[in-house]
């Protein structure tokens, strides 16, 4: 399997490493702290509870995947963490120690629908610079964009438009945007769901590399069991109606992981069975 390690700088040299000293509230090592989180749509008698009593935390630099059947509330939960949707009264959601009441600083949402999140009239480099314009002087902005495009292997496509790129490349532009903004937390909703197997594996390895090198914390939603095990430190299973966290499955596989060798490990195969049974039941 193709590896991309040469494209990403080491920790010390990595310009995209988050400035942890400026991140407040990291004393307890928790990036997210969710207690008794509920979500309901509609109000009164027509209200429909989607999530109930969801309690978990995510540690600094942890890679946590959320899995569960379609419609259980994974996207909804990610939106609550990202401050894009309100939870019911009584829910407690904290990011870096502070209550979430809007998109928290340093947190980037990567949506599945990458085509809709790129602006077709802007070049790749101007899509990557989108969140930084007006916040940085031009030379620093250009340097950040160049470094981010280098990391995802798209430096030579910077003057192309999104519609001139393949789906996998467009997804990489989204990743580059998060890197340029020096996101310390990535919330990713099925980011590789619609890609072919080869592109998916390449992007999984890029994400693994970025996670290792930048120290970012990742909360990742996927329907792909192998992908969740391959990337994660822990897998949370949402189940029930309303849904809650039915299982938290640690993934203690050595890192860095390899598309072939890791997936042949007996522990990988055992985890695949555990996660499968946790999602679909063993009946
Ligand atoms: N804005 C909304 N208004 C009303 N109901 C909603 C809204 N958004 C989501 N829902 C409902 O909440 C439930 C959970 O939706 P959500 O998108 O979080 O599920 P999911 O686990 O991400 O599913 P999938 O795996 O198919 O992406 C679904 O029943 C959905 O119909
Ligand atoms: Mg979803």
CATH of the domain at 173: 3.40.50.300
24 φ, ψ (degrees, to nearest 5) = -75, 160
Evaluate whether residue 247 is within a structural domain: yes
pTM of the model: 0.85
Which comes out higher in pLDDT, residue 210 or 225? 225
Give the rounded percent of residues in the chain with a pLDDT score beyond 70.
89
Can you give the residue range of the structural domain that contains 38?
A: 29-280
Counted residue by residue, the chain has a size of 283
| pLDDT tier at 117, thresholds 50, 70, 90 | confident
The domain total for the chain is 1
Evaluate whether residue 4 is within a structural domain: no
Provide the token pair at 99.
């209550």
Which comes out higher in pLDDT, residue 172 or 271? 271
| Strand (E) or helix (H) holding 170 | helix 167-180
Q: How many CB atoms lie within 10 A of CB 183?
A: 25
Evaluate whether residue 38 is within a structural domain: yes
2 has pLDDT over 90: no
The residue-averaged pLDDT of 213-221 equals 93
Is the CB of 71 inside a 6 Å radius of any atom of ligand 1? yes
In the 8-state DSSP scheme, what is residue 214?
H
- Residue from 65, 73, 87 whose mutation best tests the ligand 1 pocket (most atoms within 8 A of CB): 73
Which of 2-16, 23-37, 156-170, 204-218 bottoms out in mean pLDDT, i.e. has the lowest?
A: 2-16
- Measured CA to CA, the distance from residue 272 to residue 119 in angstroms comes to 38
Give the number of the atom of ligand 1 that is nearest the alpha carbon of residue 77. 18
CA of 71 to the centre of ligand 1 (A): 5
Evaluate whether residue 160 is within a structural domain: yes
3-state secondary structure of 137: coil
3-state secondary structure of 210: helix
Beta bridge partners of 95: 32, 98
Q: Are strands 30-41 and 48-59 parallel, antiparallel or unpaired?
A: antiparallel
| pLDDT tier at 12, thresholds 50, 70, 90 | very low
Evaluate whether residue 10 is within a structural domain: no
3-state secondary structure of 253: coil
Q: Of 59, 46, 116, 51, which is closest to residue 79 (Cα–Cα)?
A: 51
Q: What is the pLDDT of residues 142-192, one digit of tens each?
A: 999 999 898 888 999 999 999 999 988 898 898 888 888 888 999 999 988
Is the CB of 41 inside a 6 Å radius of any atom of ligand 1? yes
Q: What is the pLDDT of residues 52-93, one digit of tens each?
A: 999 999 999 999 999 999 999 999 999 999 999 999 999 999
- The reported pLDDT for the residue numbered 5 is 31
Ligand 1 atom 5: the closest Cα is on which residue?
A: 41
Evaluate whether residue 9 is within a structural domain: no
Evaluate whether residue 164 is within a structural domain: yes
92 φ, ψ (degrees, to nearest 5) = -120, 120
Evaluate whether residue 1 is within a structural domain: no
Beta bridge partners of 33: 57, 94
**How much is the mean pLDDT over the chain?**
87
Ligand 1 atom 31: the closest Cα is on which residue?
A: 71
């Amino acid at each position: 399997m193709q590896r991309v390690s040469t494209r990403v700088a080491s920790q010390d040299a990595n310009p995209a490493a988050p400035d942890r000293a400026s991140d407040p509230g990291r004393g307890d090592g928790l990036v997210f702290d969710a207690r008794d989180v509920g979500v309901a749509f509609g109000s009164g008698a027509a209200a429909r509870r989607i999530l109930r009593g969801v309690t978990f935390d995510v540690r600094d630099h942890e890679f946590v995947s959320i899995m569960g059947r379609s419609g259980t509330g994974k996207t909804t939960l990610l939106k609550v963490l990202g401050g894009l949707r309100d939870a019911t009264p009584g829910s407690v959601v904290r990011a870096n120690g502070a209550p979430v009441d809007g998109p928290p600083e340093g947190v980037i949402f990567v949506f599945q629908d990458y085509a809709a999140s790129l602006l077709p009239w802007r070049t790749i480099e101007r899509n990557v610079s989108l969140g930084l314009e007006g916040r940085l002087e031009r030379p620093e902005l250009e340097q950040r964009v160049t470094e981010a495009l280098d990391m995802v292997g798209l430096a030579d496509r910077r003057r192309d438009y999104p519609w001139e790129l393949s789906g996998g490349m467009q997804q990489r532009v989204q990743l580059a945007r998060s890197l340029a903004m020096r996101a310390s937390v990535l919330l990713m909703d099925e980011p590789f769901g619609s890609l072919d197997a080869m592109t998916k594996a390449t992007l999984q390895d890029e994400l693994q590399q970025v996670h290792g090198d930048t120290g970012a914390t990742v909360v990742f939603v996927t329907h792909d069991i192998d992908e969740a095990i391959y990337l994660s430190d822990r897998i949370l299973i949402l189940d029930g109606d309303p849904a809650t966290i039915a299982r938290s499955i640690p993934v203690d596989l050595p890192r860095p992981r390899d598309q072939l060798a890791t997936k042949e490990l007996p522990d990988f195969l055992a985890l695949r069975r555990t996660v499968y049974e946790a999602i679909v039941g063993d009946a």
